[in-house]
Amino acid sequence: KPVVAIVGRPNVGKSTIFNRIVGERISIVEDIPGITRDRIYSSAEWLTHDFNIIDTGGIEIGDEPFLEQIRQQAEIAIDEADVIIFMTNGREGVTSADEQVAKILFRSSKPIVLAVNKVDNPDMKNQIYDFYSLGFGEPYPISGSHGLGLGEMLDAVTKSFKPQDEVKYGDEVIKFSLIGRPNVGKSSLVNALLGEDRVIVSDIAGTTRDAIDSPYKYDSQEYVIIDTAGMRKKGKVYETTEKYSVLRALRAIERSDVVLVVIDAEEGIIDQDKKIAGYAHDAGRAVIMVVNKWDAVDKDDKTMDRFEKKLRDHFQFLDYAPVVFLSALTKKRIHTLLPVINMASENHSMRVQSSVLNEVVMDAVAMNPTPTDHGKRLKIFYATQVAVKPPTFVIFVNEPELMHFSYERFLENRIREAFGFEGTPIRLIARARK
């Protein structure tokens, strides 16, 4: 999917426009239990076009002075986006900060659509001509607060989309990514995985695109490490800002089946780890927790259990995720990782038999009666698996409102125990039988 980034100095209305473009999307995403997303990145659509959109204004860059912040936000847009919306404010006219942003954007070869916001009524339209001086051609007058002009602007944006040679890997290929904050050892781990004995294959269809991914084969199983390039590319100042690493993580998660949440054993668990892991969970990907730098920890025979217990406490929503301890540096226990990836991937796409599923559900109901509300009892008629990646089950009931969270959780656990869905989230949806 093409990526669109909004840039511009503060207060021109970037997040208003972002929310307008994203529309209902965000609230749909928030229906999924888990950790809510930052409002800086979302999928969106306009007419027949699907794309992702970034509000770079939401990426705060430390305590840098104001101009440095917008400069770095513009650099991020250039790095990450296929098309850039350069937003200005029609009420204030062209400011020197706008000119600074323009200067940076000029150096990029990405298509740029110049938007003049806060043009709330037609009389103001002749104020936009000044903006030609920024050098990006026709300015598009818009009004975020009144929702005017967005259609024309989005037409210009989507017209600039180049045909995407979107990389499509076969279903038999396991796509995984490594996410985690900077310096936990993601690129070291990739290098260790791609070490001498792995055959790096370049003939999997569609691997040419900027070579951002690393396809390889081991024991006749094909894998693709998603966004290897993003992990290796280092040295930009903003690499260490939290929102930026979250953004990168989101983009990698989107294209993965299995997500390895890499945690630094030396540093312990911090909030950012939890947040990043939350995205993988929300997105319904298989998740493995990888504790790296295990070589650097003083240990006795209980250290591993203690660390795992701490992890489990922090990541209760990931109770299905296996934990792997290893060292990318010494390569110790590296060989334990691939079998776990294989297992998680298999479970992520597992299909169960309807007859067995219904036996499991009915047994569960017999064991633990369904909840009642105001004298009305939940009735379960039938369960069926409607999707994989992640396994998703629809449970037909008399009234979906009667399905309490705790009962759903109970059913989920019974289904897990019966089929062994280690490594993957599963979803239950209660529907009224028609």
Q: Summarize as ranges the residues that interact with ligand GDP (CB under 6 A).
A: 180, 182-188, 231, 292-293, 295-296, 327-329
Which residue, 34 or 180, is less far from ligand GDP as judged by CB? 180
Least CB distance from residue 296 to ligand GDP, whole Å?
A: 4
- Is residue 46 a known part of a binding site? no
- Is residue 82 a known part of a binding site? no
- State the first-to-last Cα distance of the chain, in angstroms, to the nearest integer: 36
With a CB cutoff of 8 Å and minimum separation 6, the contacts of 347 are 286, 391, 420, 421, 422, 423, 424
With a CB cutoff of 8 Å and minimum separation 6, the contacts of 83 are 2, 3, 4, 5, 110, 111, 112, 113, 157, 160, 161
Quickly count: other Cβ atoms within 10 Å of residue 276's Cβ.
24
DSSP alpha helices (H): ranges in 328-391?
A: 337-348, 354-367
Least CB distance from residue 304 to ligand GDP, whole Å?
A: 15
Which residue, 51 or 176, is less far from ligand GDP as judged by CB? 176
Q: Which residue is nearest to ligand GDP (CB)?
A: 185
For tokens 């985690």, name the residue. 180
- Is residue 228 a known part of a binding site? yes
- Is residue 11 a known part of a binding site? yes
DSSP class per residue in 63-76: T--HHHHHHHHHHH
Which residue, 183 or 207, is less far from ligand GDP as judged by CB? 183
**Between helices 242-254 and 66-80, what is the axis angle to 10°?**
10
Whether omega before 390 lies within 30 degrees of 0, making that bond cis, reads yes
Least CB distance from residue 244 to ligand GDP, whole Å?
A: 12
Least CB distance from residue 188 to ligand GDP, whole Å?
A: 3
Quickly count: other Cβ atoms within 10 Å of residue 322's Cβ.
17
- Is residue 187 a known part of a binding site? yes
Least CB distance from residue 422 to ligand GDP, whole Å?
A: 25
Which residue, 330 or 372, is less far from ligand GDP as judged by CB? 330
Which residue, 118 or 293, is less far from ligand GDP as judged by CB? 293
Rounded Cα–Cα distance for residues 72 and 61 (Å):
8
Least CB distance from residue 190 to ligand GDP, whole Å?
A: 8
Which residue, 187 or 345, is less far from ligand GDP as judged by CB? 187
Contact 320, 422 (CB under 8 A): yes
3-state DSSP assignment of residue 105: helix
- Is residue 181 a known part of a binding site? yes
- Is residue 171 a known part of a binding site? no
- Is residue 1 a known part of a binding site? no
